Structure 1
Amino acid sequence: MHKSLRIPEILLHICAFADDRTLAVLARCCSPFHECATQVLWHHLRSLAPLVRCFLSDMWRERGGELEFLRPPGPKDWPRVLHYSRHVRRLERDLFDKASLPKLHPQVLWMIAALKPGLVLLPNLRRFAWTHWSCIPTECIPALLSLFPADVRHIALGEMSYLPDILQSISSYITDKFISLDCLKLTFAFSGISAPELSLPLLTHSLTQLHRGSDISFDKESFNILSQLPNLRSLSCMLPDIRSLSSSAGDSVSVPFPALQTLHITATTHCYSAFTEIASLQGVHTVQLTFTEVVTVQQLPLLFAAIRRQFSPSTLTSLTVLVTHRADTERLILVPSHMSPLLKFRRLLVFNLRVHGELRLDDEACSEMAHAWPHIQSLTITSSHPLTDDIHGLPTLEGLVPFAVLCPHLAYLKIRFNAQDIQQTTLSFPHRLERPSLTNLYVYCCPISRPDSVAAFLARMFPRLTCVLAYDFRNTGSRGREWKKNWEEVQRYLPLFARIRADERQWVAVERESEAGRRIRSVDQ
């Protein structure tokens, strides 16, 4: 064997690119390969099943896709398990993991937690993320957490059943044991029943990320503790009804959320308005606000003004506002004046607004947005249930021109506009310094006629445009089917125009080379 293959660092780099089958072969190959291959092979587990299978074969069995013990493990049964468990640094599985893994019978976890020879089973574990609870019941989470060391930095528990007693045990483990915790995420499976506020003491100042399910809120005391954590950079939760935030006794931090950069909250308009009065989050750059109660036409401008008051125009780069609704509530009408406070955020890269109602944003409103957000990369303004009959308040194709001229970085655009009755003057080519970056245009329930002219306009205004996706033509009858068919025609034309432009560029290059050759010959003569 070559001398370089005896260097552990080189072997680790080689093993990092090998699949599990290859690593298993290398682990059985020779002593130098065994340690490195084993370290990589066991670095990340998606289940505890491989460790259970390390026990003697007469101790366990798999029945009906579930692993269970035939007898309790004794002191002599652990060495092989402990040999491999020390290599595990990540225990992660999410909802999108389609691998077929056996479930663990609750008895297995409880026995391992009770009979393990040391204080922990996974001494080097640093990251635990489990959002696929079909493998381990929620009531086994405390037993599972007892296997982890205090040095765990990331814990994500998702899709759990809401069991108050179990949650208190989880809270105790998190508070008392994981003193170095950096990120905590807790979400619950939707049950259709609103859960009460929960108390979750979070006393570690190392915490930088906290994510809670949008249907579970903190109590006021826990939220007050959160607001004083000096290192908390990311927060996702339901906002409680809180009127004041005060620093803890002996705490030198007086400004709420001093290090916060990312905020995702679900709230009522009343709670959020009160929150903006007591917390100025000038350092936050990414915001998602979901409002769960009905927002009236009178409340909407006040809501946008509160958003402007709480965040800094020089810092905020991503803003998402989602206004939910009930079927029996009044429809909102969004007019250009409502958007005025949000136009102050001139450094926005991403803007996403979804309301229940009608959008009355004309060409002038589109021009104002393009002037206000020159750095925008993704722009989405949609209605959950647009009025398909009223199309006179929509922007026209002319309204897209400012985005082509003033927003060179805009790559994703989703907006409702009227593409009917396109005028020849619309096809005039505007002056611009950069070629637009728009590649994806999503048109929802947009009226259209003359798809060839519309496609020609879009291809000239946005030369990089490759995808036009039309959707949401429900309740529009035969007219909507005709609109969708026309938009599909637009999508068919765009690649053809792109080929023509490519051919033209080649001809221009050939003509320039030919012209340069003629000039050289004339000089030589």
Structure 2
Amino acid sequence: MDSAPLPEHNRAHHQDELLVCCLRCPILSLLTELSISGIALEPRVLRHLASCSIRSLSLEDLHEMPCAVFDVNANSLHFPVLRDVLIATGFVDLCIALFDSIARSTCALTHVDIDIKRETCTLAAFERVAEVLGTLPSIKQLDVRVVFGDHLVQFVPPSAISPFFALHALEHFALDGLFQVLLDDTTVIDMACAWPRIQLLDVYPEYEHRLYDPDSTDWGQWCPPAVTVPGLLPFALRCPRLQHLRIALGDIIGDTLPYSGPNAPFTFADLVDRPAHGLAELTVGGNPRLGPAAALEVAVQLSAMFPHLVDIYVDDPESVVQNHHEEWSSVDELCEARWAGVLPLHRVLAQVRLQERRGRIPRM
């Protein structure tokens, strides 16, 4: 006679028993990479994992524990050799509990990839994820993807990502998901000061512009980005290793181009006698409008900040600027091209700056 199927929680318990038995095998205990999916991790399994020589741990599609109980004490798991962690789960509380249980004294994590797959995350939960990750200062690469509930664009204030500013070793930081980060020039200063080693910075979630429809009433009110072009100056002064930057900019019209502010800590004069910044790629999100007479000034400011900039991408299929080779009959015509004219102007200015650094006079 066939036996009745095991209840879900008993099935998960037996899976954990099997996993522990495997990990206790003398040979398997030497594993350096481990991927686990489709089970409910019990605290004793995590304790055993902490004692293994695992350097790379992948946890995907984990089941929530019975009664949502996760009784590992905070800072009680020692992973002295663990470097890479990937978590893809629909249970944000499990993600929070796991990182909160890692002992800070022995943590040496360098790469963390988090994907909250179900639309169950709230802003408060996102802030809690940021808080626990902000206590692990060894992290060098951090990718966070979150989909909030209700299929609505969630507005994430600067305070929600401020715990990440404690990760001073960060070299790669990318946010992805259906939300908008409400950045401004002040937050850019905080980022630049917090992440002096940053090489790739992506704070413009991919789905923000791909799914947002300004003509739809289902998306609620849209908050225009507030970062200005001169607001990128702190990156040029404080982040010398930055190679790729993806950020939303506000409309470039009126008085947004002067670097204004009663107590502005940085000025373009600070660029004097500094090594030329090596930023190679800039992606401008937010689909900012560019004033008719602003192309030249934008190109001048970008050239001053990032003279090695090669590619500029704009979040607008009609305005994507990359390797532009069209012929322009005059500077006035080039300026009228707006965003499509910024990069060629920038390249001309960059060439002049290069010749000046080499002590040569351009041929007329």
- Aligned counterpart in structure 2 of residue 399 of structure 1, from 231, 250, 255: 231
Q: What is the letter of the counterpart of residue 217 of structure 1?
A: G
**Normalising by structure 1, what TM-score?**
0.50
| 8 Å CA contact retained: 1:323, 1:355 | yes
For 1:278-297, list aligned pairs within 5 A.
278-280=101-103, 282-293=107-118, 294-297=120-123
Instruction: Please provide the CA RMSD for this pair.
Output: 3.1
Per the normalisation by structure 2, the TM-score is 0.71
Structure 1 match to 2:146 = 323
Distance in 1 of aligned mates of 2:226 and 2:198: 21
**Count of residue correspondences:** 294
Task: Give, in whole Å, the separation in 2 of the partners of 1:245 and 1:227.
Answer: 13
1:504 to 343, 356, 359: 356
Q: Residue 241 of structure 1 corresponds to which residue in structure 2?
A: 64
The equivalent of 2:29 in structure 1 is 205
Tell me what 2:247 maps to: 415
In 2, Cα distance between the equivalents of 1:430 and 1:378? 25
Task: Flag the 1:344–1:422 CA change in 2: closer, same or farther, 3 A.
Answer: farther
Residues 263, 422 of structure 1: alpha-carbon distance in 2 compared, 3 angstrom cutoff: farther
User: Counterpart of 1:443 in 2: which secondary structure?
Assistant: strand
Residue in 1 aligned with 2:341?
Answer: 489
Aligned residue for 1:351?
173
Residue type of the alignment partner of 2:143: T
Q: 1:219 to 1:300 in 2, by over 3 A?
A: closer
**Is the 2:87–2:115 Cα contact (8 Å) retained in structure 1?**
yes
Offset from partner CA, 1:105-139 (integer Å, 9 cap, x none): xxxxxxxxxxxxxxxxxxxxxxxxxxxxxxxxxxx
Are residues 401 and 419 of structure 1, via their aligned partners in 2, closer, same or farther at CA, if it must alter by over 3 Å?
A: farther
1:494 maps to amino acid: H
Quick one: distance in 1 between partners of 2:133 and 2:351? 45
Give the corresponding residue for 2:87: 265
Report deviation, 1:223: 4.4
Cα distance change of structure 1 residues 399 and 355 upon mapping to structure 2, 3 Å threshold = farther
Rounded Cα–Cα distance in structure 2 between residues aligned with 1:379 and 1:232: 28
Q: In 1, are the aligned partners of 2:252 and 2:288 still within 8 Å (CA)?
A: yes
Secondary structure at the residue paired with 1:492? helix
> Given residue 287 of structure 2, which amino acid in structure 1 is its aligned partner?
C
2:287 aligned with 1:446: yes
**Which is bigger in relative contact order (C-alpha 8 A, separation at least 6)?**
2
| Higher Rg of the two aligned structures | 1
Consecutive unaligned residues in structure 2, runs of 5 or more: 1-14, 215-221, 261-266, 322-336
* CA-to-aligned-CA distance 1:302-359 (integer Å, 9 cap, x gap): 22112224x2x2x111111111356x43431111111221111111111111231222
1:263 Cα offset (Å):
0.8
Distance 1:419 1:410, change over 3 A: farther
Q: What is the aligned partner in structure 2 of residue 68 from structure 1?
A: none
Q: Which amino acid aligns with 1:460?
A: A
The alpha carbon displacement at 1:422 in A equals 5.9
Long gaps (5+) in structure 1: 1-196, 247-253, 475-480, 511-525
1:177-192 → structure 2 map (5 Å cutoff): none
Aligned-residue offset at 1:227: 1.4
Structure 1 pair 376/228, CA: closer, same or farther in 2 (3 Å)?
closer
What percentage of aligned pairs have identical amino acids? 24
Matches of 1:436 and 1:206 in 2, distance apart? 44
Q: Is the 8 A contact 2:224 2:286 kept in 1?
A: no
Partner Cα separation in structure 2 for residue 486 and residue 217 of structure 1: 51
Aligned partner of 2:268 in structure 1 is 429
Letter in 2 for 1:462: F
What secondary structure sits across from 2:268 in the alignment? coil
